[in-house]
Chain A
Amino acid sequence: MFEYTFLQQYWWFIVSLLGGLLVFLMFVQGGNAMIFPAGKTEMQRQMIVNSTGRKWEFTFTTLVTFGGAFFASFPLFYSTSFGGAFWVWVLILITFVFQAVSYEFQTKAGNILGKNAFRIFLTVNGCLAPLLIGTAVGTFFTGSDFVVNKNAVGDSLAPVISVWGNGWHGLEAIADLRNVLLGLAVMCLAAVLGSLYMINNIEDDALVANLRKALLWAAVPFVVCFMAFMVWIFLSEGYAVDGDGVVFMEKYKYWHNLVQMPVVAVLFAAGVLCVLYGIVRTLVCKTFRRGIWWTGAGTVLAVMALFMLAGYGGTAYYPSYSDLQSSLTIVNSCSSEFTLRVMTYVSFIIPFVLAYIAYAWWKMDRRRISSDELEGTQDKY
């Protein structure tokens, strides 16, 4: 029913979709980054924590599923990137681990470290996690330092097939400014999304006013960093793959991809426009509060398009600059046809999952969080 090539493309689409959803859901991180800058009073900070705290499991679960989907569909990426860019992923995980417990622990009696310590953990996760994830994704375009040698499995003394080329194990990515620009862009985008989400989710005039100010402070550097990254990437050489699977450097590769894949170009343009519309209208119109849905949808589309630019159109999505032919493509790093087919059938349940999430989300968010609600209930963080 499905050709192997179609399945590979389909699973890159699913990974792209999960990537887009993950960045959108990082409004949780961006919201937490606002605990201290936007939350001027204890009640405002409580409202921020409770607003993002009722959604953090979605971000966490999407991150885990993103990892699981990569493992199942592109195991050579899982093997090469996680085992190679070791320190980057370990740092990301540690920040998420602290986030996971901080909501529950921060206001509980007997939490040893005190309320503010756990809120600082939330803030650190809010800044570092998007920054690191963005920087790591930057290497999808700029390349990493690794060699893949599948013949190594035959060596009983040194059978590891993916070997990283330096002892920094991923931290060297910050030496390429393009990676850092994407990291900063994602960090600021998360803050934008966090502000927009809480503007829509919290009923408190003073806090909403603070969040509108924070939105401006986050949106300007986001636009600058994102534009700088995109222009630089479009003007850079990219990692192209020919029909025989041979990887070579091609000038303006990612720009060519955008031009040659009009659907991706439309997705990208629509995504960027939606992101900007949500931001600008929220800033200009003081009664407009639903900017999160415009900017959120735009984020999903734009991030998906970015992943598609990296993976489709004869491109190596996880390139190696030290050994071009070790670069990972959706063809040489994917699971077998049988596994991709099984996983494709499994993926048909995703709309059902999205439907019950949407229903529960709608039921829980019909009323905005307010100080009255938090003062009158024990069902809170």
Chain B
Amino acid sequence: MIDSALIGWSRAQFALTACYHWVFVPLTLGLAVIMAVMETVYVVKKDEFWKRAAKFWQKIFGINFAVGIATGIILEFEFGTNWSNYSWFVGDIFGAPLAIEGIFAFFMEATFVAVMFFGWNKVGKKFHLAATWLTGIGASISALWILIANAWMQHPVGMEFNPETVRHEMVDFWAVVTNPVAISKFFHSVLSGWMTGAIFVIGVSCWYLIRKRDVRFARASIKVASVVGIVGTLAVMSSGDSSAVHVAKYQPMKLAAAEGLEEGGPRAPFSIVPGLEIPGMLSILATHDINGFVPGINDLLDGYTAPDGTQVLSADAKKERGDIALDAFKAYRENKDTNPEAAAEAKKVLDENVEYFGYGYIGDKEELVPNVPLVYWSFRVMVGLGCFLLLLMVVVLWAEYRNRIENMRWLHWVALFSIPLVYLAGQAGWIVAEVGRQPWAIQDLLPVSAAISSLSAGAVITTFFIFVAVFTLFLAVEIRIMIKAIRKGPETEVAK
């Protein structure tokens, strides 16, 4: 029997690695655009100021970039080391985006990041500019493929279960690539990186304004970052809207948990905080219709009748179908070589119940409810901070264009202290996405308890604390080096 401590620690280790990875990746995605825009201005205007500005942000990018790579490789291999059953059960589909990510994106990043850092005096201006853009594009393509893989776990499409090989097998690559969840997830995640980069640049630039130094550089950076950030945030909001519709459709339990909605129905209210609701708003967000039906946690556990008359099964009924699927699978395996007729009959039963296969591993139906307070509050932190940061960027851009920004001391401090907030928003977003889908490694098909490797809990506890120590050390070193580099400054004033 699988040790529950092993499952818990394996989840904790993966969450730890993913959370640390997402500390470094969004800044990479956002800074890549900002520094590329600055270098483009340099090449067009032939003004050395913009070259120095781009080089300063590239220096910050470089300090951050390596730790993102380091945490990323651990994530990739953890699918094998800690989730080995998962690796076989769905590797036929999931492995392909990972390999494509390597071939298409990582080599692009690896090739051109070296040209970007060390090629200023070795290649022509235009080639260098292309290298800078390609580094950022490579990072975004990398995000695309890994998010296609992640979206498939949230909404598995384009595959069939094969009891002969005992795994899901891909039958429609195009369906996997164009999974609607993947498309909104890509824009939502990558453009939230633009937000992170923008707020980081604005915050650091405001620090220069507080210190009344490197003013031209700070204002130029604020201008570029605000525009990138506002465009990014508006796109994040738009993709968030389509994401909500997808979650309502494919992962209704996640939505119910994010709203703390126990009893659902039409005209479902949106909870701003407990006790403060907007009537009908959740229905609008989830279905784009104020009268849209949104099921609550109890509806999903007990079963309900959808507005179109469809009877949605209760958790117990799904568990029963899951048990039937597992029994049919066993019968198929027992008979496949000796009794083809019995095997064919078992296969028929399996096919009829395979969509509930994962429920066969669920012990108690309460396991199907994720951690509601954590998901509920994370969602509010993400949305609330997202709105605040958009407002901040609009005010900063307005102040810059009205030539008032240098004197607005309060705004400088707000922007500076907003840097940790944008990271908090990003982390909260991933908590909603990943905690909200528990207990599923793959929605409805494979719970985390069946996706695990056969290890001792002690081994995973050991690696968990090793990674805690290593990643925390890297973060501490990175922050200290960045602070030193920022204090040293961009040295653009000399060239003014």
Contact = CB atoms under 8 A, between A and B. Distances in A.
B480 interface: yes
A377 B108 CA distance: 25
Interface in A343-381: 343, 346-347, 349-350, 353, 356-357, 360, 363-364, 366-367, 377, 379-380
Interface residues of A, number: 80
Contact of A150 (B76, B127, B166, B476): B166
A283 interface: no
A275 interface: no
A43 interface: no
A339 B87 contact: no
A157 B449 CA distance: 9
Interface of A: 54-55, 57-58, 60-61, 63-65, 67-69, 71-73, 75-76, 78-84, 86-87, 89-90, 93-94, 96-98, 100-101, 103-105, 108-113, 150-151, 153-154, 156-164, 167, 169, 335-336, 338-339, 342-343, 346-347, 349-350, 353, 356-357, 360, 363-364, 366-367, 377, 379-380
A162 B91 contact: no
Contacts of B63: 104-105, 108
Nearest to B1: A157
Interface string B419-449: 0000000000000000000000000000000
B329 A164 contact: no
B92 A78 contact: no
B191 to A, nearest CB: 25
A110 B481 contact: yes
A176 B131 CA distance: 47
Nearest to B88: A79
A209 B87 CA distance: 48
Contacts of B395: none
25 contacts: A57-B113, A60-B110, A64-B102, A67-B98, A73-B95, A83-B453, A87-B459, A100-B67, A100-B70, A104-B62, A105-B477, A105-B478, A110-B483, A111-B477, A153-B166, A154-B327, A154-B330, A154-B333, A157-B1, A160-B452, A161-B88, A167-B456, A335-B92, A353-B103, A379-B121
B469 to A, nearest CB: 11
Contact of A65 (B91, B99, B118): B99
B197 to A, nearest CB: 18
A71 B326 contact: no
A336 B99 contact: no
Interface residues of B, number: 94
A86 B112 contact: no
A105 B93 CA distance: 37
A310 B106 CA distance: 28
A357 B120 contact: no
Nearest to A113: B477
Nearest to B357: A153
A108 B477 CA distance: 10
A379 B117 contact: yes
Given A153-B329, A350-B103, A160 B454 contact: yes
A367 B77 contact: no
B91 A108 contact: no
B119 interface: yes
Nearest to A363: B123
Contact of B92 (A61, A97, A339, A367): A339
Nearest to B325: A154
Given A90-B463, A101-B70, A110 B122 contact: no
A103 B77 contact: no
Contacts of B106: 61, 64-65
A75 B170 contact: no
A94 B73 contact: no
B107 A169 contact: no
Contacts of A364: 114-115, 118-119, 122-123
Contacts of B82: 83
Contacts of A347: 103
Main DSSP-derived SS at the B contact region = helix
Contact of B84 (A82, A111, A150): A82
B224 interface: no
A87 B458 CA distance: 12
Nearest to B452: A160
A156 B115 CA distance: 52
Residue in B71, B95, B484 whose Cβ sees the most chain A Cβ within 10 Å: B95
B73 A97 contact: yes
B344 interface: no
A113 B470 CA distance: 13
Given A110-B480, A154-B333, A158-B1, A343 B87 contact: no
Given A112-B480, A343-B96, A93 B107 contact: no
A113 B476 CA distance: 11
4 shortest A-B CB distances, which residue pairs? A83-B84, A82-B80, A75-B91, A65-B102
- Give the interface centre of A81, A89, A101, A364 by most chain B CB atoms within 10 Å: A101
Interface string B35-75: 00000000000000000000000000011011101111110
A128 to B, nearest CB: 15
Nearest to A341: B173
A112 B110 contact: no
Contacts of A76: 88, 91
Given A55-B114, A87-B459, 5 more contacts: A68-B102, A73-B99, A78-B88, A79-B91, A366-B122
B100 interface: yes
Contacts of B127: 363
B66 A101 contact: yes
B93 A339 contact: yes
Contacts of A103: 66
Most buried by B among A80, A108, A151: A108
Contacts of A57: 69, 109-111, 113-114
A366 B127 CA distance: 15
Contacts of B173: 338, 342
A68 B67 contact: no
B84 A162 contact: yes
Contacts of B326: 154, 156
Contacts of B67: 100-101
A108 B481 contact: yes
Given A78-B91, A86-B81, A89-B80, A363 B122 contact: yes
A5 to B, nearest CB: 16
